[in-house]
Amino acid sequence: MRGVKKKKPGDRWDSGQISFEADADFSVSLGELFGRPGQAAHVENAEKDAKREKHPKNEIELPEGFLASVTQATLHRESSGRGGRTVVAVSIKPEPDARTAEALAKAMRKGLGCGAHAEGQKVILQGDIQERAADWLMKRGVGRTVMGN
């Protein structure tokens, strides 16, 4: 075939570069055709991964034994001011600080498989999952759960 060169070890085709040569009309590496980046992109991705490992997002963790120290958790449904969507508001005693409330929201989000966030000292769970949330809290050592409306 005219214009097609065979790949040799160490050739520029290995790095994913496009080459224009005198005896070839146009040549492109297979990596470029299939969307696989060349060597330079692999180095950039490795650098980005290293930065992510150094500074992970959301490294907030729930303090050890925090849920066992909670004496009461109150769960009630709300839909007012939320576009008609039902949420469960979880208030706990003693009231946590904002960082601990966010860590509790993260733990409940993972444990219950729902959306959750902290609003002040309350944790807001998306959906009508009041019973599941009460069971989850009881299994983790909360002294008493009270369910309202």
Q: pLDDT over 90 for what percent of the chain? A: 41
pTM: 0.60
- pLDDT score of 40 more than 70: no
- pLDDT score of 98 more than 60: yes
Which of 71, 114, 75, 115 minimizes the C-alpha distance to 96? 71
> Residues of CATH 3.30.780.10 domain(s) within the chain?
66-147
CA distance 127 to 108: 13
**Higher confidence at residue 138 or residue 26?**
138
Identify the CATH class of 66-147. Answer: alpha beta
Return the pLDDT at 67. Answer: 86
Return the pLDDT at 89. Answer: 95
- pLDDT score of 90 more than 80: yes
